[in-house]
Amino acid sequence: MDIVLQQLVNGLTLGSVYGLIAIGYTMVYGIIGMINFAHGDVYMVSAYITAIALALLTFFGIESFPIILVGTLFLTVAVTGAYGWVIERIAYRPLRSSSRLSVLISAIGMSLILQNYVQLSQGANQQGVPTLLTGALRFHVGDGFVQITYMKLLILFISILGMGVLTYVIQKTKLGRMCRATQQDRKMASILGIDTDKVISTVFVIGAVMAALAGVLVTLDYGAFDFYVGFIIGIKAFTAAVLGGIGSLPGAMLGGLILGLSEALFAGLISSDYKDVFSFSLLVLILIVRPSGLLGKPEVEKV
Amino acid sequence: MNQENILAVENLVMHFGGIKALNDVTFDIKRGSVSALIGPNGAGKTTVFNCLTGFYKATGGKILLSAGGKETSIIKVLGEPFQVTDFFSPFAFFARLKYKMFGGSHLVNRAGLSRTFQNIRLFKEMSVVENLLVAQHMRVNRSLIAGILNTKSYRKAEEEALERVFYWLGVVDLVDSANRLAGELSYGQQRRLEIARAMCTNPEIVCLDEPAAGLNPSETEALTKMIRVLRDEHNTTVLLIEHDMGMVMDISDYIVVLDHGEVIAKGGPDDIKSNPKVIAAYLGAEEGEEVTL
């Protein structure tokens, strides 16, 4: 019983991290129909920026945890957002009118460039940051107990906040309306005077910002990272996006949560070695039953 | 360009590979008029529209739009390739670089021209109100922070935008459907909504591509009235492509006839009706053969 509850808590935090990263995949797919393979590496870059920001803040003698957290979040989000913008500008926008395949290749190239550039500039060794927030809540359940570290609570809180703000922006504000209009008919949006290139840039920045939130939180929680850390988490987040229905924002969050929860439960109850096998099998199963994903709209062939 | 004309098209050429869709098209549209572009199928009417609205980048010629107190060259704002002379004049170089980097069809709309499509292109997954709000994005508060914090000025701007939305819904008689999804509306309603959306961008000239296609006679009559309202009450110039000759002759002040990518006649409805070239183009007469309607 306590293991199930413990794994549910772990799965929830893991799932919200997947959800945050999946947002970047799903929004970019929704707006320009490409899969941004460099997104996982944007997450990886944000982990390094987190470490640099932490070092900077400690260098200036700041020791209180809330200020460090807010400062790190702010710096990382800003710098990673700039990365997202630059990547779109140099790797995707020049290929806007060419076939989808060339953009895909360009994305893979961008992913390799980011990995190697970080490896060259930061070294190939695993890096680490100190644990800043310790302590945990403990609930006694039967004989055992369920432990929720404060860091996990923080992950949950910030992810939910991030997703909530984003949902509000997309549903209610003018920027969101412009994003949705561009997603449905880019050419028409442009004819109504919307600068669609700018909207697409904004979507890339939003994706990178969400990945940066995940990057800061996971780095502060796990403490260790290397230049290759973006690959597996990127694939998982992509799986989450496809699971929820790629192109759908609530789908990405839902897919992330389902993937995280089922992975954690499988790891805790059956085997932690085969958890990746399990999550990808889940994807296969869901795609067999619902090819467009859980919340995705099936594409109707117009006659 | 003389101030009386809102739009001047000079020697417009559009080639698709080896196909010459438009060959030297020249016409002017007077400010505040209702003008029609007619011609047999495949004459190049929609191609002219696509060039005017920045949907296509014309191969050659000039399109000058005089709206909002300034003159805009539509081909230039879409971004042109560099010319040799640009490298000697920094000013021309930067102007071209600016439009190459930031230009695009959105600037055509911002200059004061909007359009509708022959095959309706609404945002089908958005509500009727949202379709009209999107079109007003240049007028409402653009700050994202203000949007998230829902500041007073932001709310006020949104309210004004909503007022305009309901004004236009009233004009096109869609107030009852305000909260339905655009894709759920009937064909005639979608056509009217598209016109309302084009008007919400606050254009000085609106281009309607076959607005009466697929409408029944009473809907066509309502549309005719609406087009008169656009011209008389909103000072908007209307340029339309239409196959319904009864309607065209009824509302147009000026008609341009295209055939095989060339202008074969221009003038008032009465001149056009009796023009032998036009009759020949429509009835497919041999060269030199006399045809009367």
Q: Residue A232 maps to which CATH number? A: 1.10.3470
Note the pTM of the prediction, 2 decimals: 0.87
Instruction: State mean pLDDT over A206-219.
Output: 94
- The verdict on residue A259 lying in a domain is yes
- Residue A15 binned pLDDT confidence (cut-offs 50, 70, 90): very high
Confidence check: pLDDT of A98 > 90: no
Domain residues for the domain of A158 are 2-289
Of B55, B126, B201, the CB nearest to A180: B126
- The verdict on residue A300 lying in a domain is no
Per-residue pLDDT, B1: 53
Point out the residues of chain B with pLDDT beneath 70: 1-2, 139-144, 284-293
Q: How far is A248 from chain B (nearest CA, A)?
A: 13
Number of domains forming the structure of chain A: 1
Q: How far is A246 from chain B (nearest CA, A)?
A: 16
- Residue A27 binned pLDDT confidence (cut-offs 50, 70, 90): very high
- Residue A219 binned pLDDT confidence (cut-offs 50, 70, 90): very high
Own/partner contacts of A107-112, CB < 8 Å, gap of 24 or more, are: A107/A34, A107/A35, A107/A36, A107/A37, A107/A38, A108/A37, A108/A38, A110/A37, A110/A38, A110/A41, A111/A37, A111/A38, A111/A40, A111/A41
Domains of chain B: 1-112+203-293 (3.40.50.300), 123-202 (no CATH)
Per-residue pLDDT, A300: 58
- The verdict on residue A152 lying in a domain is yes
Look at A174 and B106 and tell me if their CB atoms are within 8 Å. Answer: no
Confidence check: pLDDT of A158 > 70: yes
Look at A191 and B140 and tell me if their CB atoms are within 8 Å. Answer: no
Phi, psi (deg, nearest 5) at residue B26: -135, 125
Q: Which of A170, A171, A191, A205 to mutate to probe the B interface, most B CBs <10 Å?
A: A191
DSSP annotation string for A192-208: TT--HHHHHHHHHHHHH
Mean pLDDT of chain A: 90
Look at A178 and B134 and tell me if their CB atoms are within 8 Å. Answer: yes
- The verdict on residue A303 lying in a domain is no
Per-residue pLDDT, A210: 94
- The verdict on residue A187 lying in a domain is yes
- The verdict on residue A72 lying in a domain is yes
ipTM of this complex: 0.81
Tell me which chain A residues have a C-beta less than 8 angstroms from the C-beta of B133.
174, 177
Q: Which of B53, B133, B134 to mutate to probe the A interface, most A CBs <10 Å?
A: B134
Length of chain A in residues, anyone? 303
- The verdict on residue A298 lying in a domain is no
- Pairwise CA distance, residues A231 & A49, whole Å: 17
Q: Which of B78, B100, B105, B205 to mutate to probe the A interface, most A CBs <10 Å?
A: B105
- The verdict on residue A302 lying in a domain is no
Confidence check: pLDDT of A138 > 60: yes
* A181, closest residue in chain B (CA to CA): B123
Per-residue pLDDT, A211: 95
Look at B124 and A184 and tell me if their CB atoms are within 8 Å. Answer: yes
Residues of chain A with pLDDT > 90: what percent? 55
Look at A181 and B121 and tell me if their CB atoms are within 8 Å. Answer: no
